[in-house]
Amino acid sequence: MRILRRENKFCLSCMQEHTVDIIERVESETFNGLKVNFNSIYEYCSNTDECIETEEIIKANGLAVKDAYRRASGLLTSAEIRKIREKYNISQKELSEILDWGKATITRYENHQVQDRAHDDILRKIDSDPQWFLEMLNRAKDRISEKSFSKYYKAAYEQYVKKKRSSMYKLTEINNVVSISVIHSERTCTEICNRNMYSNKRLTSFLREHSTDKNRGKVEPLLSI
């Protein structure tokens, strides 16, 4: 147990105003058949030696259990879902509408409900593939206002350009690393990967991903190294 902070407030345990410790402790709970550890928060009253939960704390502790379950099951946490949504500068309700989910779906995922695996995959795809999200936006064009569409399209397009730039940078970086290493030391691809801390799998999948017509000339010789 550790004290996070102290607050002077009306205490619901002794029904008096005094300094209350806000404490954190590790607890275990079984959720969906899985036992998880999570950090729970309580208010501690020194007059009654009691730990109590306000309505707000009950909500936060409930979310902490679910986030622990999500982490253990390889699902996005509520904060990660919020981060993806904020990356595209989009409201909970409108993201749900664009994806053709129930209007309150994203709000529930960010607050108390654990998402199913299929929805988790879609959220991850949005996070990693702005181009795909642009397609989703186009598909939902008639379902959202023109103003929202332009706002979200702009945000998604910015993410797309950013991603494209970083991929091109990575391609140049890997091209240089591989070419320079090969020319100067006749190393094998595995040695190059190890030396430069690229996993062979990562390099191969990266090169495959970028093996477009435009890049083919550059990428194919690298794949055959």
Per CB under 5 A, residues contacting Zn ion are 11, 13-14, 45, 47
Distance CA(47)–CA(11), nearest Å, equals 10
CB of 53 to Zn ion, least distance (A): 14
CB of 94 to Zn ion, least distance (A): 43
**CB closer to Zn ion, 7 vs 209:** 7
CB of 41 to Zn ion, least distance (A): 16
Q: From residue 196, how far is each of 91, 172, 191, 208 by CA, in Å?
A: 41, 14, 8, 19
**CB closer to Zn ion, 14 vs 122:** 14
Distance CA(215)–CA(225), nearest Å, equals 16
Alpha carbon of residue 121 to chain centroid: 11
**DSSP notation for 76-100:** --HHHHHHHHHHTT--HHHHHHHTT
**CB closer to Zn ion, 7 vs 173:** 7
CB of 44 to Zn ion, least distance (A): 9
**CB closer to Zn ion, 18 vs 103:** 18
